[in-house]
Amino acid sequence: SDWSSDVCSSDLSELGPDLVQFEFTHTAGLRDSAAGVPAILVEHDITYGLHRQLAETGTDRESWREYERWLAFEKRWLSEYDAVWTVCEADRREAIETGWRRPDRTFNVPNGVDIRRFTPAEQPCAPFDILFVGSFRHLPNVRAFETLRSDIMPLVWARFPQAVLRVVAGPRHEWFWKRNGGRNSASALDPRIQMLGFVEDLRPLYAEAAVVVAPLVVSAGTNIKILEAMACGKAIVSTQPGCSGLELADNADLLIRDGAGPFAAAGCELL
């Protein structure tokens, strides 16, 4: 926000805090604004790891340059904090191995969801309803949706033509879709795809869904939507990146399938 930018552009130590917590990798470079004050950096994901995946799946040199910039940035700033907090054990290990020299000051505080709020619904689901939740503000979600609509759903529709795909794409999803390289527009989508923007309460959508899908090709941190769907007792198909960091078991907690064919087959099996 403008307020936080104004505060961080000055000396935070003037406010007299005992501790400053910096949220997200992008704020790590503001550490100097709290010079002399203990500070924690919360790494919601290892950002250079995400950009490494994007570079490996892309074909342009700029993706690799972006990865190298993030790698240098995180290596530089991780060591400046009194403690680093990650959201999964894999990220904690990565932070220790790449630049952060104090394992005893690097903590894993796993993400979770409120299981009193997210609970299995009493009413039956819609039998052919497929749900994907992922804000288009985040590039991996746009790529996941492109794979879902272009490669996976045609295979599902070949067996279940009545299946409906509901997509919770977040606020300003069409703008972010275009900015992140999305193809076509919402008006050109198959009519069996229902695009939703920001949804304040996802529980009714989880209740209706027969299957929840997370077809991410690249990902970082942990996918809270997987945890929400599990808390709601839903059948889930995910790629390995889609559920990374959660230490879930294939064929027990959910179905983990990579590639359009196996992913679609798993979805059909659950339907």
- pLDDT digit of tens for each residue in the chain (271 aa)? 343 444 444 567 678 889 999 998 989 999 988 888 999 999 998 888 888 888 888 777 888 998 999 999 988 898 899 999 999 998 998 888 876 668 889 999 998 999 999 999 998 999 999 999 999 988 889 989 999 999 999 999 999 999 999 999 998 888 878 876 666 555 578 999 999 999 999 999 999 999 999 999 988 888 999 999 999 999 999 999 999 999 999 999 999 999 999 999 999 999 9
Cα 44 off chain centre by: 10
Phi, psi angles (nearest 5°) of residue 190: -55, 135
Give CA separation, 219 vs 65, 97, 114, in Å: 19, 19, 23
In one letter, which amino acid is 120? Answer: P
Lookup: tokens for 11: 């000396």
CB atoms within 10 A of CB 42: 19
Reported residue count of the chain is 271
CA distance linking residue 149 with residue 6, whole number of Å: 42
CA distance linking residue 195 with residue 5, whole number of Å: 34
Side by side, the strands of the sheet bearing 83-86 are 20-23, 39-43, 83-86, 106-108
pTM of the model: 0.85
In DSSP terms, which residues pair with 83 in a beta bridge? Answer: 40
Single out the residue of 73, 113, 75 nearest to residue 229, CA to CA.
113
CB atoms within 10 A of CB 204: 11
CA distance linking residue 31 with residue 21, whole number of Å: 10
